[in-house]
């Protein structure tokens, strides 16, 4: 029995350590890393009084010749190693019932904690993958485009936009819900990320990927309570100080601006310029989006400033073919990423 527990203890500990490194070095999530580390340390603690090494016989263990898995995506690696840990915990839990029922109960508690942490880590990875699409971030607004929202969204998606915010300040709640539902169906066809402007309730109802908040909307922490950790929360900020505070509050990205003069929105503060972007980039680890007066010629300097994406409205929506303009912006951003 103790040889079985020893083998599975090693498998569980190794699997937990692998996913801990994902949380630490890839997600750079301090809180989640600490939770996974606590799981690993708890396992070590409850088994520390048993001399498991004395039952170890690696040379004759037939398991050392088993083939290894290959992974197409990081999430597969995480799932495999959590499964390895969870299965091993279950094996130890079952066999320890024969002689150590208290140990069995403790191992069961750790197994359920592992299930919870697996869900949390996979959700964080999925969100990271979505945020990686932010690049050219289109804010789809019928009033600015002067065209129906279905046409705006459809053409933009055809042109390669994969991160889109739907903004509608004039419709009532029912109309906004109906429009947002259709936009959600369109974005899903292209595996594009959909962010709803302002309305946490609408975002939750149509299962959007997230919500974008302003100063007059729900605080980030309150929106997080409603939406959960798996949804993206973006925040409009007007200074480096606000950007730092927004990320600390829990926003997944901040839109900082206006960077340049813009006519897309009235009553805005003076343009911040590239200098503020560069200083902000040095202070925050979260996703930084530039917004306000951005045109194609600015992309090289914005990329050098360290932004993860640029929010575009007029540059794509006003005048001309939306699909072609979207393609132009997307290709220009891709060139900057490759440079």
Q: Between vectors from CA 331 to CA 326 and to CA 335, what angle results, nearest 5°?
A: 150
Rounded-to-integer distance, Cα 263 and Cα 9, Å: 62
Count of CB atoms situated within 10 Å of the CB of 15: 23
Beta bridge partners of 255: 236, 289
Q: What is the pTM of this model?
A: 0.90
Task: Report which DSSP code applies to 306.
Answer: T
pLDDT above 70 as % of the chain: 95
Interval 213-226: pLDDT, tens: 999 999 999 999 99
Mean pLDDT of 257-261: 95
Interval 131-155: pLDDT, tens: 999 999 999 999 999 999 999 999 9
Residue 153 near residue 187, CB atoms below 8 Å: yes
Rounded-to-integer distance, Cα 80 and Cα 70, Å: 10
pLDDT band at 52 (very low <50, low <70, confident <90, very high): low
Residues 6+ apart with CB under 8 A from 125: 22, 26, 27, 74, 75, 78
Q: What share of the chain is helix, strand, coil (3-state, %, to 5)?
A: 60, 10, 30
Rounded-to-integer distance, Cα 209 and Cα 127, Å: 9
Q: Which H helix or E strand runs over 253?
A: strand 253-256
Rounded-to-integer distance, Cα 26 and Cα 271, Å: 34
Extents of the domains making up the chain: 2-129, 132-338
Q: Specify the CATH number of the domain 2-129.
A: 1.20.1260
Q: Specify the CATH number of the domain 132-338.
A: 3.20.20.70
């Amino acid at each position: 029995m103790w040889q079985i527990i020893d083998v599975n203890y090693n498998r569980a500990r190794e699997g937990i350590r692998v996913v801990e490194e994902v949380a630490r070095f890839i997600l750079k999530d301090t809180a989640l890393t600490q939770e996974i580390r606590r799981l690993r340390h708890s396992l070590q603690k409850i088994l520390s009084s048993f001399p498991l090494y004395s039952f170890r016989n690696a040379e004759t263990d037939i398991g050392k010749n088993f083939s290894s898995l290959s992974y197409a995506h990081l999430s597969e690696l995480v799932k495999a190693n959590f499964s390895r840990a969870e299965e091993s915990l279950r094996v130890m839990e079952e066999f320890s019932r024969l002689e150590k029922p208290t140990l069995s109960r403790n191992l069961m508690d750790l197994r359920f904690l592992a299930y919870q942490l697996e869900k949390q880590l996979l959700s964080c990875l999925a969100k990271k993958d979505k945020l990686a699409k932010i690049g050219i971030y289109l804010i789809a607004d019928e009033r600015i485009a002067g065209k129906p929202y279905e046409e705006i969204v459809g053409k933009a998606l055809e042109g390669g936009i994969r991160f889109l915010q739907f903004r509608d300040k004039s419709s009532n709640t029912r109309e906004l819900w109906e429009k947002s539902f259709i936009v959600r169906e369109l974005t899903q066809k292209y595996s594009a990320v959909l962010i709803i402007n302002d309305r946490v309730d609408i975002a939750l109802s149509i299962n959007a990927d997230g919500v974008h908040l302003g100063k007059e909307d729900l605080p980030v922490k309150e929106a997080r309570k409603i939406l959960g950790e798996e949804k993206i929360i973006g925040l409009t900020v007007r200074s480096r100080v606000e950007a730092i505070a927004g990320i600390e509050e829990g926003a997944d990205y901040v839109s900082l601006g206006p960077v340049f003069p813009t006519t897309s929105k009235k009553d805005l503060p003076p343009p911040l310029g590239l200098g503020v972007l560069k200083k902000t980039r040095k202070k925050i680890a979260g996703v930084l989006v530039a917004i306000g007066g951005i045109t194609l010629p600015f992309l090289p300097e914005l990329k050098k400033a360290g932004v993860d994406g640029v929010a575009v409205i007029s540059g794509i929506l006003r005048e001309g073919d939306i699909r072609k303009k979207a393609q132009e912006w997307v290709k220009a951003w891709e060139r900057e990423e490759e440079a």
